[in-house]
Amino acid sequence: MTTLTQVSAPVFAQGLKGLLGVLTKAQAHVEAKGLDPASLIQARLFPDMFPFARQVNLACEFAKGAVARLSGDEVPAWDDPEPTFEALKARVEKTIAFLKEADAAKIDGQEDRDITLVRRGVESVVKAQPYLLEQALPNFYFHLTTAYALLRHNGVEVGKKDFLGTA
């Protein structure tokens, strides 16, 4: 039987490991080409979309938020880092460390736990398993994929292995 812990913390950590790798490649790309780091850090696919740095932060937020909520804990509040490659990598590393501390005893068997979400001032309650599978994971992968796509679109040489964290 697959548990909530197996489908959450290590899955998020693997995705963030890939993100850490593409951040490293992006920083090297900027340095090798003599570019302003802001050209990637503030890059957007379209003017009304969040920039790259926000995509990174949101991927981290969905990962830590999901694991905290599944554990029945308060979601830790972290300030968004300065928009630098170093700060973004530190944020990803901090999130991975948080995920590694996930307590399976507090998560597993809690598929029917009520999860209270507040979005734009509106509160809703969902069960833990649908929250993870239908909201947290899709949102995490949306922001992870968008961050990757922004770098690829801007010439950073990354591939599927980088995205998967297996390069």
**DSSP labels, the chain:** ---HHHHSHHHHHHHHHHHHHHHHHHHHHHHHHT--THHHHT--SSTTSPPHHHHHHHHHHHHHHHHHHHHTPPPPP-PPPPSSHHHHHHHHHHHHHHHHT--HHHHTT-TT-EEEEEETTEEEEEEHHHIIIIIIHHHHHHHHHHHHHHHHHTT----HHHHHT--
Please give the average per-residue pLDDT across 10-26, as a whole number. Answer: 96
CA end-to-end distance (rounded Å), the chain: 30
pLDDT at 82: 81
pLDDT at position 167 over 70: no
Cα 32 from Cα 15, distance rounded (Å) = 26
Output the six-digit token pair for 59: 């991927």
At 148 the pLDDT is 97
What residue numbers bound the domain in which 45 lies?
4-164
- Residue 147: half-sphere exposure toward Cβ, Cα within 13 Å: 33
Q: CATH number, domain at 102? A: 1.20.120.450
For residue 133, is pLDDT > 90? Answer: yes
pLDDT band at 118 (very low <50, low <70, confident <90, very high): confident
CB 26 within 8 A of CB 156: yes
In the structure encoding, which two tokens stand for residue 33, read together? Answer: 């080409």
Mean pLDDT (the chain) is 95
Burial class (CB in 10 A: 0-12, 13-18, 19+), 74: exposed
Q: How many domains does the structure of the chain reveal?
A: 1
